[in-house]
Every structure is written in structure tokens, then in C-alpha cells.
Amino acid sequence: MSTKKLNHEDVGKPGFTSRFDASTEGLDEIQLFDLSSHALARDALDFALSMSDPGYNIFVLGEDRSGRMDAAMGYLEAYVEDQTPSSDWVYLNNFRRPHKPRPVRLPRGKGRAFRDSMAEFLPALTDALRKAFTSDAYGEDIRNAQETTKTSLDAAYGELRGKARKHGLDIWSGPQGLSLVIIGTDGKPMSQEDLVSLPDDRREKLEASVETLNPAMMEMRATARRAELDLMRRIRDINRETADETTETLLAELEGNYAGHQGLTRWLVELRADILDNLHLFQRQDQQGQADGAPPHGPTSGSAIEQPVQGSGDLNRRYAVNLIVDNGDTHHPNVVL
């Protein structure tokens, strides 16, 4: 009996196109067939891949050892070669709502780069702030502010003290602040016993003088308190101005490198404002380095009116970049099995 070679069409079976490459050295790289003969399966995959919204799925069915998984995976791997690489995702501190971190999407590789840039930025900023707050220019600004306040208070104090001395009184500084006192012949505050021993008319005259000058004394106390608060505010403003100039210089490079990424641009603006509002964190960080001989920097002065932010944490945690998806080493979307 003669024999005849039949093809797949003669027997009603699907045909498979071999993708064997004679130059292939290893058997692991050989593709025996693809989906070229499975038009319906290929069309179904193409349709599913065209749906970019979430919630669209496709199920590959077939008998065991039918090659369905190899064919489908090979088709998908070829498809993703021409697709845009997957993005990176980072979590950034939401300064106004720390319990709701801010997710930011970045191009492939930018997430890792931004994380490393911020890791370099923080110690550089801490060192730059320390130098700025120990500079001669900063010290001169603080001394000028203090001298201006002292000159103003000395003038008011001298005027009131002159009036008091004309009436046998003086201004005395004690635990309760400034107060009017009756002075004796030795120029010191008169004791209660000595005051009682004075003639009635003399004692009454001194006590009347105290009553007369008390309103001026109270105004002097209020003036001193206002001057102290004004000085603290001025020192705070000097601290912010000094820190802002220092921060602006270092942030300029970061802002330039990531200017095209809207989420980062907005966050860097908020970062700058948060740094100025939390200079005490950098002071604390700097104080931890005192064992290395670094002198303390300036925000200690006048910082009493700058209250620490509740739950601020340390610098590294507050300004860290949490890289949650890193596709820096990939060149196309991944096929996940």
C-alpha cells in the first residue's frame, strides 16, 4: 500500500508555525510555535490588551500539555516589548495630613533617583543651616536686633527712673519683675521696719509718690513685655530669612531636575515651607552631632514662640521618600504570571 503525507488542513488540525532559529545554541530559547494559527485566540488576546481600564480579564483555556500557556505568554511578552515602560511610584509625607501619605507617579527610574537625591539633600541642608546660623553675618543681625531693643528699653527705663529718684524712689528688679521701691539713705530699698519708723508726713508723701508713679510703672512693664515679644519675633524672622536663603540655594537643583513632574514640583514647594516652620528639627539633628565638635546654631534664640509640630518625628522620617514601586531596571511593562 502506498503512503501519502498529509498536512494539517487534510486532517482538520490546526497548524503551528515553527519559530526555530538554526543559530540558537540552547534548546531553552527555541519557540516551537506561536498563535499564528489560532486566529480566535489571538483576536481575543488583542481585544483584551486593547482594554487599558482595570476590570477587563481574559482566561486561556485548554487541555493539559496543549502549549496554551507557552503560546499565550510568548505572545504577551512580544506585545509588551513595544509598550511604554511601567512607572515608578513613591509615597511622600503629606505635611498637612501626615496620616494620608501622598502618592506620586514618576517615569521609570525617576523614583529611585529622587529618593537618592533627597537622601543627599537632608545632610547637606543640615550642614548648610549650621554654617549659616554660626556665620558672622547672622550673629551681627541678632546683635543689632538685641541692641535696638535694649536701647529703646534703656531710654524708657532711664526716664521713669529719673522721675522716681526725684521722689525718693527707685526701680528695682526682682523675681516679679520691675517694681517701685522706697530707698533709704544708703541707696538701697528701705525695709518695712525703717519705713514705719519714718515720720508720718514723710512716709505718707513717699507712699503717695508710689501711687502716683505706679501707672507709669505698669506701663513700663507692659512696654518691656512687648519689646521682649517683638525681639523674639524679630529673631524668628531673622532665622526664617537665613534658613530660606540657605534652603532656596539647595532646593534649586532639585526643582530643576524634577521641574516637569507636577506632583514633585508642588511637594517641593510645600517642603520648603515645612522646613521653615520646623527649624527646631534641624537644630535637634545638629545637637546630636555636637559630639563631633559642631557648635549649636542660632534658632535657639527667639524660638520660644515656635512650638514644635505635634508628632513631627525626626528629619529622615519626615522627609524620606518611600519608593514603593521601582521599575528602574525594566524596559517595558512586566508580564506577571
User: For residue range 281-302, what is the model confidence (pLDDT) as tens digits?
Assistant: 887 655 554 434 333 344 544 4
DSSP state for residue 24 in the 8-state scheme: -
Q: So what's the pLDDT on residue 305?
A: 33
Write phi, then psi, for 17 (nearest 5 degrees).
-90, 120
Whole-model pTM? 0.66
What's the rounded mean pLDDT across residues 134-149?
Answer: 95
pLDDT of residue 143: 96
Residue 149: pLDDT band by 50, 70, 90 thresholds?
very high
The mean per-residue pLDDT over the stretch 107-119 comes to: 94
User: Which residues make Cβ contacts (< 8 Å) with residue 203, sequence separation at least 6?
Assistant: 195, 196
Q: Tell me the per-residue pLDDT of 208-229, one tens digit each, with 9 for 90 and over.
A: 888 888 888 888 888 889 999 9
CB atoms within 10 A of CB 220: 21
Residue 18: pLDDT above 60? no
Residues whose CB is less than 8 angstroms from the CB of residue 135 and which lie 6 or more positions away in sequence, other chains included: none
CB count in 10 Å sphere of residue 92: 21
Residue 75 has pLDDT above 50, yes or no: yes
pLDDT value at 127 more than 70: yes
Q: Residue 195 — pLDDT band, cuts 50, 70, 90? A: confident
Residue 69 confidence (pLDDT) above 90: no
How does residue 112 score in pLDDT terms, banded at 50, 70 and 90? very high
Model confidence at 66, pLDDT cuts 50, 70, 90, reads: confident
Q: In this predicted model, what pLDDT tens digit does every residue of 233-292 receive, in sequence order?
A: 999 999 999 999 999 999 999 999 998 888 899 999 999 999 999 998 887 655 554 434
Is residue 16 within 8 A of residue 53, CB to CB? The reply is no
- pLDDT over 70 (residue 21): no
Mean pLDDT in the chain?
81
Residue 180: φ, ψ to 5°: -85, 135
* Residue scoring higher pLDDT (189 or 87): 87
User: What's the rounded mean pLDDT across residues 320-324?
Assistant: 95
Confidence (pLDDT) at 96: 92
CB 302 within 8 A of CB 233: yes
Comparing 306 with 248, the larger pLDDT belongs to 248
Contact 135, 143 (CB under 8 A): no
Q: Do the Cβ atoms of 299 and 55 come closer than 8 Å? A: no
